[in-house]
Structure formats: C-alpha cells, structure tokens
Amino acid sequence: MSAAVSAENEKLILGYPVKDIPWERVLLISAFVVLMIFYTFATENFLTLENFVNVVRRDAWLFFLAYAQTLVIVSAGFDLSQGSIMSVVSVMAWSAMLHFGFFIGLIAGLGIGLLCGVVNGFFVGVVRVQPFIATLGMLFIGSGTAQLWTGGLQMGGAREGATLPKHVEEAYVFLAKGNLGPIPFTFIWILIALGAMWYLLKYTRFGTYVYALGGNEQTAISAGINFPGMKIAIFGIGGLLCGFAGLLLSANVSAAGEPRLGGGDQLLQSIGATIIGGTHIFGGRGGVLGTTLGVFLIIFLVNGLNIMGIDTYRQQIIVGLVILASIWVSTLREQKN
C-alpha cells in the first residue's frame, strides 16, 4: 500500500524514484569515468584504440572467471577452486590437443571444467558441505592434479620433445588472439558469455531460482526449488566458464600446458571484480552487468598504472583499496536502509 502511494508522489531522476537510484552503480560508473579522464591526462598512450583492444584481449579470461564467480556468489555460494580449474584445464586440454587435435582438445578442456564444477556442486548440493570448504578441497585437488599430470613442468613451449603441431598451435593461439575482420575474437566470446548469462539470470526460471536461493534459501526450498540440482547446475556452469577462461589464458600466455596457470591472483581478481560490480557477498543481489563494469575497472586501473610505470606490488595495494572502498560504499548504503 505505502510503496505504491509514495512512488507516485516522488520525483523521478532519469526514470528512477529518488530513493531507488542505484547509487552503487552510479558511483562505479563515475569512478570509471574519472579514472579514464585521469589516465588520459596523466599518460600519453592510454586513450588509444590499440591499448583498449590489447587490454581487453589480454584480460579476456577475467570476464569469464568473474561471470562464473558472480553466478555462484549470487546463489549464496563461493568458488575458491577457479584458479586450479584453470590449471587443470590448461594441461589436460593441451594433452588432448597434442593427441587428438584442436577441437577435441577444446571440448576436453570445457568438459573438464564442467566436471570440476559439477563435483563442486555435488558436494555443496547433495552432501551439503559449505561451498567454501567444498571448493577449497577442489582447489587443492585441482592444482595437485595439474602438477601431477605434467610432473610440475610446463608442457610445450620450453619443454623438449612434445610440442603441439604447428596448425594446432596456430588455431589455439587464434582462439585468444585472432581477429574476425576488425573485431578481436575475444570480444565476441565475451559478448556471447555476457549475453547468455544476462539472459539466463534475468529471463529464465533458473536465474530467478539463483536469486531466490541467494536471498532466502529456506523460502526457495519450500517453494519447491530443487536445491541439489540447482547447486550442481550453478557450479557446473561456473566450472564451464572457468574452463574456457583457462583455455583463453593459456593460449594467450604460451599456447602451452601450464600447471601453475591459475596459481596466481586470478581467483582474487575474479572475486574482486564481482564485489566491485555490486554483487552482494552473501548472495541474492547483483548481476553480470555490474560484474562487467567491475572487470573493466580492475583491468583498466591496472593498465593505467602499468603505463604510468608503477610496479605490481603497488598496483595490488591500490586494487585492494578500491575493493575496500566499494564494499564500504555498499555497507553504508545498507546501514542507511
């Protein structure tokens, strides 16, 4: 009763009633714009098409990782195993490519990602382990498997004896670095993933149930939502996206099987981008559009600092501060409500 009445009387700004303006989103976009302007004036080469294309091409994997993390976090889960799924996929896809060619390798990579995700989902949904613990287990299992597979060595690249056939390697590299006319391939992958995830979350029952599970698990279950099935699907899709991210990153780095591929701060960046993008850490709120903005903010923040000649350690400090600031903003807003 009260909601409707007050909404009619309220002023609208850009179509939103004043109290419903998504301040976090506004702040995020303005932070991004300010950053762009700052870098444009502070450096010479920042605002060029070449730089933009290079950055998005190189960091494309982060989009997929962050979409996966967003899906999982919105459903009140957490995926720690993303990095090690990338590692496993990298080495196993490389092996498959060596023996069976590019496409089989691609499918194997995606399949392994999916499998890891489904196992995560099984433990979370059926065995009912906390997502944090279940995926922590997968983190160790994944990175252990990847290292065992290769004896801890990089496969291809510097290693003697086994290298991918020329045409396979070219195809692999093309996946990450190729162009379709003037448009980089990775842009297309990102747009497809973004579109699919957006559609999934907004227009399907699955998406609604993801939000319902994140918002109030008991209600969701009592409304007849299949909890184990949902968890397996959510983590499965997450694993699939991680697998693709692993393929992209290893193609970009060396087109080799890299057992420590996901051992860096990839996981942390994907969580960071998700949080900066306004997804609530306990689930129920958020989405892939915000996450896309979050990824853009992170990769261009780092890119600009690179151009300015500030080293990685300082970059990490700054990224950390940005994450804290974004969380602070959302907490303040929540407390006001």
Partner 1 sequence: MPESKNLLKMLKIDKSFPGVHALKEVDFDLAEGEVHILLGENGAGKSTLIKILAGMYHADSGQIEISETPTVIPDARTGRDLGISVIYQELNLVPDLSVAKNIFLGREPVLPGVMKRVDWAKVEQESRAIMERLDVKIDVNAPVRSLSVADQQMVEIARALVFDCKILVMDEPTSSLSGHEIEELFKAVNRLREHGVGIIYISHRLEEVHEIGDRVTVLRDGEYMGTWEVKEVELDFLITQMVGRTLDEKFPWTPREHGEVALRVRGLTRSGVFEDINFDLHYGEIVGLSGLVGAGRTEVARAVMGADPVDGGTVEMTNATKEKEEIQKLPHYPLWMALVDVVVFMLALPLFTVIFQGIYDPFTLNMNSPPPLFSGNWFYEWILGGPLYNIPNGPTPYLVAAGLALIRQLGLWFLERQYRWRTLVVDFVSWYALAICAMVFTSLFTQNFVLEWVMIWGGVAMIVIRFLTILTHERKWTPTLAIRRGLGLLPEDRKTQGLTQVLSVAFNTTSANLRRLIKRWLLNLSIEKDFVDEHIDQLKIMTPNQETQIRFLSGGNQQKVVLAKWLFRRANVLIFDEPTRGIDVGAKFEVHSQMLQLAKDGAAVMMISSELPEILGMSDRILVMREGRLTADIDRNEATQEGILRYAMTAD
Token pair 């959302």: residue: 330
Site size toward partner 1, by CB under 8 A: 33
Q: What share of the chain is helix, strand, coil (3-state, %, to 5)?
A: 75, 5, 20
Half-sphere exposure of 275 (CA within 13 A, CB side): 22
Longest dimension (CA), the chain: 75
Q: Any contact of residue 133 with partner 1 (CB under 8 A)? A: no
Among 220, 271, 293, 299, binds partner 1 (CB under 8 A): 220
Q: Which residues contact 332 (CB under 8 A, 6 or more apart)?
A: none
Least CB distance to partner 1 at residue 204 (A): 5
CA distance 259 to 108: 16
Looking at the Cβ atoms of 111 and 215, the one nearer to partner 1 is 215
Residue whose token pair is 């299949």:
226
The token pair at 27 is: 């702040």
> C-beta of 24: minimal distance to partner 1 in Å?
14
User: Within 10 Å of residue 40's Cβ, how many Cβ atoms?
Assistant: 13
Measured distance CA(289)–CA(29) in Å, rounded: 12
Among 144, 215, 228, 263, binds partner 1 (CB under 8 A): 215
- Residue 317 interacts with partner 1 (CB under 8 A)? yes
Q: Least distance in Å: CB of 220 to partner 1?
A: 7
- Binding string, 266-305, against partner 1, x = CB under 8 A? ------------------xx--------------------
For partner 1, the closer of residues 30 and 204 by Cβ is: 204
Using the minimum distance from each CB to partner 1, give the nearer residue, 11 or 336. 336
Examine residue 9 and tell whether it contacts partner 1 (CB under 8 A).
no
Nearer to partner 1, 165 or 195 (CB): 195
Q: What is the CA radius of gyration of the chain?
A: 21
Residue count of the chain, please give it: 337
What is the full DSSP assignment across 36-52?
A: HHHHHHH-SSSSSHHHH
Site for partner 1 in 141-200 (CB under 8 A): 199
Q: Of 45 and 218, which CB lies nearer to partner 1 in the complex structure? A: 218
What pairs with residue 257 in β-bridges? 155
Residues that bind partner 1 (CB under 8 A): 1-5, 7, 199, 203-206, 208, 211-212, 214-216, 218-220, 222-225, 284-285, 314, 317, 328, 332, 335-337
